Amino acid sequence: MTDGEIPEDHPRRASLVTRHRIEAGVEAGITSKQGLIAQGRGEAFDYLLGERTLPSAAAAERAAAARLLLADHPVISVNGNVAALVPDEVVALAEAVDADLEVNLFNRTEERMAAIATHLRDHGAATVKGLTGDGEIPGLDHARGTVDADGIGAADVVVVPLEDGDRAAALADMGKTEIVIDLNPGSRSPRTAAIPIVDNVVRAVPNVTSHARDLTDASPDERRGIVESFEPDAALDAAEAAIRSGEF
């Protein structure tokens, strides 16, 4: 089934479309089978959040856009699920904030790395990092600690959507400002982040891009004010409260 074959009026259309994209990603060698489990876990939290962008998430997305525009060397980390779900959107975000795209995988193989890089180029990316692998994140022995020295290794701000907690913690230990997109407000990844976005990646990435375009002509002081006024703990608390109460 393709996206176009799912009825527009189906009450679970958005969920079915994302499932299909993950399935297609597995078939294309972009997404790992473990990514199917991760997608299901995220979908459950999105259901509890009302499948919508909460006001707290919208504030985080605007803060993320402002921080990316203030960065000297921003990098967007892309794994298999991100490549399958939002390839056009991450390319657009990278262009809006002048960021690098870098492929980074838990289940890393040269074939998957090359397939994702090609997939991103097919969706308009001029340059994709991650294939050189000449840098390391200290404290991670697994292949997900392998990065490009002139990419994530040199970045001051890193967007890490759908990431595992220990890698997020290791990046923070390197002194990098992290923007994490994760639907579970209790996960280590968003609790490590300077700017946690508790939202579905299919909504969050285009939302950040929209805010970045809106802030293109904003002064550095205005952008800094947006970042400094954002409270990560309050955003996480608001998301958890929405899940527990069922009120959005």
% of the chain at pLDDT higher than 70: 88
DSSP state of 152: G
Q: What is the pLDDT of residue 1?
A: 47
* Residue 2 pLDDT > 70: no
- How many CB atoms are closer than 10 A to CB 222? 11
What is the per-residue pLDDT across 205-228, written as a single tens digit (0 to 9) for each? 999 999 999 999 999 999 999 999
**Helix (H) and strand (E) counts in the chain:** 11, 7
Q: Give per-residue burial for 6-35: e unless 16+ CB within 10 Å, then b.
A: beeeeeeebbbbbbbbbbebbebebbbeeb
What is the per-residue pLDDT across 71-126, written as a single tens digit (0 to 9) for each? 999 999 999 889 999 999 999 999 999 999 999 988 788 899 999 999 999 999 99
Better-scored residue on pLDDT, 168 or 179: 179
Closest C-alpha to 77, from 177, 148, 199, 161: 161
* Residue 170 pLDDT > 70: yes
H/E stretch holding 135 reads strand 135-136
Domains and CATH numbers, the chain: 55-245 (3.40.50.12640)
Cβ 181 vs Cβ 162: under 8 Å:
yes
Closest C-alpha to 125, from 98, 92, 80, 160: 92
- How many CB atoms are closer than 10 A to CB 208? 31
DSSP state of 129: B
Structure-token pair, residue 159:
């967007």
Which alpha helices (DSSP H) does 6-105 contain, by range? 13-27, 34-48, 55-70, 80-85, 87-97
Confidence of residue 7 (pLDDT cuts 50, 70, 90): low
Q: What is the pLDDT of residue 10?
A: 47
Nearest 5°: the CA angle 14, 17, 23 is: 145
